[in-house]
């Protein structure tokens, strides 16, 4: 997604998680992917050593994987959430290759 790497955009993404009742924590640890999601406790732990761009990209990666109800989001958060999800769906559709049918 073409979201500029600014602290303001990071705050908007963090707000989505907050409104979805997820606890977002930045801590040090050995994360292979840069983050850990504890779904049953609604906790997301992100490597605190990531820069703003890394944090934004990580939150964008996590967003489609968590379950949240859009009804709890403010209109601004809903708009950003839909942009992230639409972009993710478009990327997924672009990555699919046509399968060959055997003759």
Q: Are strands 23-27 and 43-47 parallel, antiparallel or unpaired?
A: parallel
Closest CA to 39 of 71, 60, 66, 69: 66
Q: Rounded to 5 degrees, what angle do the CA atoms 58, 60, 61 make?
A: 65
**Domain coordinates of the chain in residue numbers?**
7-88
**What topology is assigned to 7-88 in CATH?**
Zincin-like (3.30.2010)
Q: Tell me: the pLDDT tens digits for 52-81?
A: 999 999 999 999 888 888 889 999 999 999
Tell me whether residue 102 is exposed, middle or buried, using C-beta atoms within 10 angstroms of its C-beta: 0 to 12, 13 to 18, 19 or more.
exposed
Chain-centre distance for alpha carbon 52: 14
User: What percent of the chain is predicted at pLDDT more than 70?
Assistant: 90
For residue 101, pLDDT beyond 60: no
């Amino acid at each position: 997604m073409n979201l500029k790497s600014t602290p303001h955009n990071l705050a908007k993404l963090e707000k989505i998680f907050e409104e979805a009742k997820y606890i977002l924590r930045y801590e040090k640890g050995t994360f292979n992917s840069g983050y850990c999601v504890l779904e049953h406790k609604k906790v997301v732990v992100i490597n605190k050593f990531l820069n703003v761009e890394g944090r934004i990209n990580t939150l964008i990666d996590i967003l489609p994987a968590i379950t949240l109800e859009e009804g709890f989001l403010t209109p601004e958060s809903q708009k950003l959430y839909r942009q992230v999800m639409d972009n993710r769906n478009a990327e997924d559709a672009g990555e699919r290759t046509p399968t060959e049918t055997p003759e």
